[in-house]
Amino acid sequence: MADHLLIRRSEDHRYFVSVMVAGYRVEAEIDTAFTQPRCNVGLGLERGIYGGIRGRLTNLARMTQYLAGEQPEMIECGLATVSIVGLDDSEIETRVADAGSNLLGTCYFHRLSGYEVVWDLEAGEMTIQKKAL
């Protein structure tokens, strides 16, 4: 484990990270547009993966999902522990949603106390690191 993690953009200019959710390892895209007004949902999952962990989620509920240019829709979500693989103290409890894609959203990072995200756009690198004291 480490107190920082360097993430390089993919050839198609996306950023991916491995996360553990309810005991399963999942590759998720970091998506700064995956957010919501109440900031409850930190991780969205593809339907098949969501179905596989659904039994491990607590406090299941239906929430309204807003997508740019589309009508809002109701999605199911539940609470789970989510962490970034290889990053110390990155375990948080957040809602995980049946969102159609594996997306680690802004609301996950808002709950990641003691960390900051440094984004070097020119180099195509994102570093998640412990804040300096």
What is the per-residue pLDDT across 52-82, written as a single tens digit (0 to 9) for each?
A: 999 999 999 998 776 666 677 788 999 999 9
What is the reported pLDDT for 37?
78
How large is the average pLDDT for residues 26-45? 89
pTM: 0.90
Q: Report which of 88, 94, 95 is spatially closest to residue 115, judged by C-alpha positions.
A: 88
| Beta-carbon contacts of residue 131 (< 8 Å; ≥ 6 apart) | 114, 115, 116
Q: CA 32, CA 52: separation in Å to the nearest integer?
A: 25
Pick among 2.40.70.10, 3.30.930.10, 2.30.29.30, 3.60.20.10: CATH of 15-113: 2.40.70.10
